[in-house]
A and B are shown apart, each in its own frame.
Chain A
Amino acid sequence: MPRESPDLAPAGAPDDEPAGTRRPRAAHIIGQNIGLILALSILLVSVVVFTGLFAFEQRRLPGNFEITSSVNNTMPLALAASGQTLVVLTRGIDLSVGGVIDLTNALAAIFLAGSVLHMIVVSALILLVGAAAGLLNGLLVGLGRLQPIVVTLATLSIFQGLAIRVLPQPGGSVPTGYTAVLVNPNAPSALLFVGLAVLGWMALRRSRLGVAIFAIGNDEQAAITLGIRAQRTKIIAYTLSGVLYAAGGLFLAASATSGDATTGDVYTLTSIVAVVLGGVSLFGGRGSAIGAIGGAFITTMIVNILFFAHIDPLYQSFYEGLFLVIAVVLGAAVGRLARRAR
């Protein structure tokens, strides 16, 4: 179409429209990823502090053992936080994380045995159990249009109950070969799974589904107007989260080499902590699973730091809470500064 009509460009006056002036590209990238940048910075600082404390105590730098155990200890939370991120991005919240991990952890402790093929099949089935749990949440939230906090509070109890039914007493066992593959105690090979999670996140971010998840977290009504199927998107997001929690349950079982139907409970709250530390907005539509994984590693580093600072383990949660408050205040302050700098 030929056009002989006026453009909207400010005519000949460079400063005509303050709103039209462009900020440099880097400013956009930093401004729009401030939560992620902050999370990775806090992670870096906590690693440095830990290294310093460790070197002071042990007269050497942290080695393979320290790195490996930190990574392995973080894996269940990193996966749980990734799943929680998907839900939080849709402007929901998932309290059933602990229940799903309890259940899948218990199932793993009982059924993981025998041949490699058998273990692969059992693992896949356990991931499917996680998917089913997530699907239940997704159906209630998506189709039932119920509040996520209420739905997942209820399903948390249901999954916890099922876990106790599966494994009434702590026990069962996980074959050492399985442990070696998932959480190799001799090398931080589990980082490979972190890499996979990051790759998966980046693919999701570039997929139709990813756009839909972000869109409904931004403004569900607008997203629907734009042709995004909000109900279906939520159902898929919760289901995928369930799979990630189940993977967390498998890693937990592999590290513990046995099962306990209650050890997963903590992940409900710690996954939310990791998501918040990772800069994911609890109001939905903003954030990154990479940040949440970073948040998971931060919580591990805080525990490590407290250990080497000889803090009584009884006070551990006190200090964890303190760090969380500091991180959140810091995040809000940086965000406000970034906005004012404009």
Chain B
Amino acid sequence: MSAGSAAVGDNPPAASGPAAAIAAQRVGKSFGGVEALRAASFAARPGEVHALVGENGAGKSTLIKIMGGRLAPDSGTLLLDGRSVRFAGPAEAARRGIGTVFQELTLLPWMSVAENLLIGREPRAALGLIRRAALAPEAEAVLAGLGITHIDPRALAAEISLAERQIIEIARVILRVPRILLLDEPSSSLVEREVTWLFARIRELRAAGTAIVFTSHRWNEITSIADRITIFRNGAEVGTFSGIDEAEAITLMTGRRVEARYPALPAAPAAERPAFELAGATLGATQDGAPGFGFSLAWGEILGVGGLAGQGHRELFLGLFGAPPFRRSAIRVDGRPVRIARPADAIHAGLGIALVPEDRKSEGLLLPLPVRDNLTLPILSRLSIGGVIRGGAERRMTREIITSLGIRTPSAAQPVGALSGGNQQKVLVGRWLLAESRILLLYDVTRGVDIATKHELYELMARLAGEGRAILFYSSDTEELARLCHRVLVLRQGRIAASLAPPALDAEAIVAAAMREAPPPAAHAA
């Protein structure tokens, strides 16, 4: 461990003098025998933006929950303005000036945006009765004051996109003018422009003297806004730094040196034998009558799909997997036409999908079930004789995949919900490798995954492409797309706005194509 050498740092976090707005001193917290925090210390000053970074499971979220009043520490003290405090719950922390955006969103789905935004501070008339008619106009005004004009306050929270929900969640906390603002991965579902908005709000609050603590897995965001960075590893702080480069930070986070951020890509594949071809597909109701689009994907190719959120990526991936299928399109796998009307057809055609749901809990994995069952779900018929699963074969196959993908789990019997996000994603990929899928649709598998595990996923993708598999990869991280893909398609309003390949392929080009007013003549998106 080379922690000392990398420290450009200033005062150690334990020395939280009276200057700290909020501080944790040797805080410990365990969940069922697993230590999430072990004597962790941290301090944030008024008027600073303080980033908390570390791998998934390093204890960042637990610390945020303790400071936000959602969890009580098992040991150690929490100091607010230098005085020891214990919160009965998040509401009490909020009354003491601590505003928290937890990682799990807390919008009430069947209530309107306005009701959610103004909950507890609704406009009231005589007898304290809420003026329901005034809710939406007031919410509209409040949102406009924060620079948000595109979200309809009358819509139900369930009707708006995940990014919009995240923005409302943030707005709800900001408009209560907290002295201390805690943000747990506030940007994980936001695109660039929304991140810019968030950072503008954070800068305003910082100027007003608010202490802001946030977690993020995107290094460029961290360096662009954080005044200080505290790195966590294994439930305790490693150190607090004012300036540190990414490689050093990763080393400190993981305790091991990660050589290169992105793996070397296998050579660009020959396009003459396409693994997968799509033609005439249309996305979204607005595209009725449009000519439709298509693309082809070669064996051994990693084809990226990028663009702003809500431009049809999800529909594209689900459509390719037949869940639900495109209304009309022609699909060829390995040169042969294939009809994909339902997921079973896609699986039969050799497609596998790792679709990480936007809220990371509803689709894909059966969280309470063991890793093993989640891995073998699509191949149970192959694994069983007369409806009875051959336990030995199942155990052997799952053991192999857990080893080869480096899924970090105590055993195959562990409920998949207990794994970290990145390892859950590996289970999703592993499932399709077991099913012998040769075409993998990977939808945002790196979102919310810590930097070290991301790196493992990158290497895995490069390896799978090297073995000849075809990969279609969507990511909200344009840097990632640019560095990891042979080609990138940029979707805009349900169409392919651009197809980028080296040397024209870089993050800026993807962003430019995504934002462009009129789509350019499609380059080579055949």
Closest to A222 in B: B106
Residues in A lying within 8 Å of B, measured CB to CB: 1, 3, 5-10, 13, 15, 17-20, 22-23, 25, 28, 32, 203, 205-208, 211, 214-215, 217-219, 221-228, 281, 285-286, 342
Chain B residues in 8 Å Cβ range of A22: 152
- Would you call B310 and A19 a contact (CB within 8 A)? yes
**In the complex, A146 Cα to B106 Cα: how many Å?**
24
Q: Is the CB of A17 within 8 A of B194?
A: no
Task: Bits for B92-112, please: 1 = Cβ < 8 Å to A, else 0.
Answer: 001000000010111111111
Q: Which of B3-11, B128-136, B239-247 contacts A (4 or more CB under 8 A)?
A: B128-136
Contacts of B160 in A (CB 8 A): 19
**Are B150 and A214 within 8 A (Cβ)?**
no
Q: Are B193 and A8 in contact, with the CB atoms below 8 A?
A: yes
Q: Given the known inter-chain contacts A18-B284, A203-B129, please indicate yes or no for A8 contacting B194, CB distance below 8 A.
A: yes
Known contacts being A1-B204, A32-B156, A226-B120, is A211 close to B130, with CB within 8 Å?
Answer: yes
Which chain B residues lie closer than 8 Å to A6 at the CB level? 147, 193, 196-197, 200
- B119 touches A (CB below 8 Å): yes
A7-B147 contact given A207-B129, A211-B130, A285-B110, CB 8 Å threshold:
yes
What's the nearest-Cβ distance from chain A to residue B141, in Å?
14
Give 18 A-B contacts (CB < 8 Å), ordered by A residue.
A6-B196, A13-B517, A18-B284, A19-B161, A19-B310, A20-B151, A28-B155, A206-B129, A206-B131, A208-B128, A215-B111, A219-B106, A221-B106, A222-B106, A223-B108, A225-B90, A225-B102, A225-B106
Interface residues on B, range: 35 or more
Question: Does B487 reach chain A (CB closer than 8 Å)?
Answer: no
A23 to B155, CA, bound (A): 8
**Pairwise interchain contact A285-B108, C-beta atoms closer than 8 A:** yes
Is B70 a contact of A225 with CB atoms below 8 Å? yes
Hey, which chain B residues are within 8 Å of A20, CB to CB? 150-151
Q: Is B264 an interface residue (CB 8 A)?
A: no
Give the shortest distance, in Å, between A199 (CB) and chain B (any CB): 11
- Bound state CA distance, A102 and B115, in angstroms? 39
Which chain A positions have C-beta within 8 A of B30? none
Contacts of B362 in A (CB 8 A): none
Minimum distance in angstroms from A11 CB to a CB of chain B: 8
Interface string of B112-139 (1 = CB under 8 A from A): 1001000110100001111110000000
Asked if A218 contacts B148 (CB within 8 A), the reply is: no
- B403 close to A (CB within 8 Å): no
Q: How far is the CA of A217 from the CA of B48 in the complex (A)?
A: 38
Q: Is the CB of A211 within 8 A of B122?
A: yes
Interface of B: prevailing SS: loop
Q: Which residues of chain B have C-beta atoms less than 8 A from A25's C-beta?
A: 154
Chain A residue at smallest Cβ distance from B157: A218
| B208: interface (CB < 8 Å) | yes
**Least Cβ distance of B472 to chain A in Å?**
23
> Cβ of B167 < 8 Å from any Cβ of A?
yes
**Does B504 make an interface contact (CB < 8 A)?**
no
- Complex: how many Å from CA A13 to CA B492? 13
With A1-B208, A25-B154, A215-B108 in contact, is A7–B197 under 8 Å at CB? Answer: yes
Q: Is the CB of B108 within 8 A of A9?
A: no
Closest-CB distance, A254 to chain B (whole angstroms)? 31
CB distance from B274 to the nearest CB of A (A): 31
**Residue-by-residue, is B424-442 near A (CB-CB < 8 Å gives 1, otherwise 0)?**
0000000000000000000
Measured CB to CB, the closest approach of chain A to B395, in angstroms, equals: 36
B111 pairs with A205, CB closer than 8 A: no
What residues of B have a CB within 8 angstroms of the CB of A10 in the complex?
150
**Which of chain A's residues have a CB closer than 8 A to the CB of B90?**
224-227
Contact B110 A218 (CB under 8 A): yes
B108 touches A219 (CB 8 A): yes
Q: Which of B140-171 contact A (CB under 8 A)?
A: 147-152, 154-156, 159-161, 164, 167
The answer to whether the Cβ of B91 comes within 8 Å of any Cβ in the partner chain is yes
Nearest A-chain residue to B167, judged by Cβ: A8
- Residue among B108, B129, B130 making CB contact with A218, cutoff 8 Å: B108
Q: Let me know if B150 and A17 touch, CB within 8 A.
A: yes
Please give the distance in Å from B35's CB to the nearest CB on chain A.
Answer: 24
Closest B residue, CB atoms, query A24: B154
- Flag if A227 contacts B149 (CB, 8 Å): no
Name the residue of chain A whose CB is nearest to the CB of B93. A227
B136 nearest CB across to chain A (Å): 8
Question: In the complex, A223→B108 CA distance in Å?
Answer: 8
Flag if B91 contacts A227 (CB, 8 Å): yes
Name the residue in A8, A28, A214 with the highest tally of chain B Cβ atoms < 10 Å from its Cβ. A8
Name B147's contact: one of A8, A205, A342 (CB within 8 Å): A8
Contacts of B70 on A, CB cut-off 8 Å?
225
| Complex CA distance for A1 and B175, rounded to whole angstroms | 12
Assembly CA distance A225 to B107 (angstroms)? 10
- A221 neighbours in B (Cβ, 8 Å): 104, 106
Assess the B286–A227 pair: CB atoms within 8 A. no
A150 CB to nearest chain B CB (Å): 21
Contact A32 B112, CB 8 Å, known A6-B200, A227-B94: yes
Q: Nearest Cβ in chain A — how far from B185, in angstroms?
A: 16
Report yes or no: A227 in contact with B130, Cβ–Cβ below 8 A: no
**Interface check B203, CB cutoff 8 A:** yes
Cα of A153 to Cα of B150 in the assembled complex, Å: 48
Closest 3 CB pairs of A and B: A227-B91, A5-B200, A20-B150
Partner of A207, one of B128, B154, B197: B128
| Residues in A whose Cβ lies below 8 Å from that of B194 | 8
Within residues 189 to 243 of chain B, which ones have a CB less than 8 A from any CB in chain A? 193-194, 196-197, 200-201, 203-204, 207-208
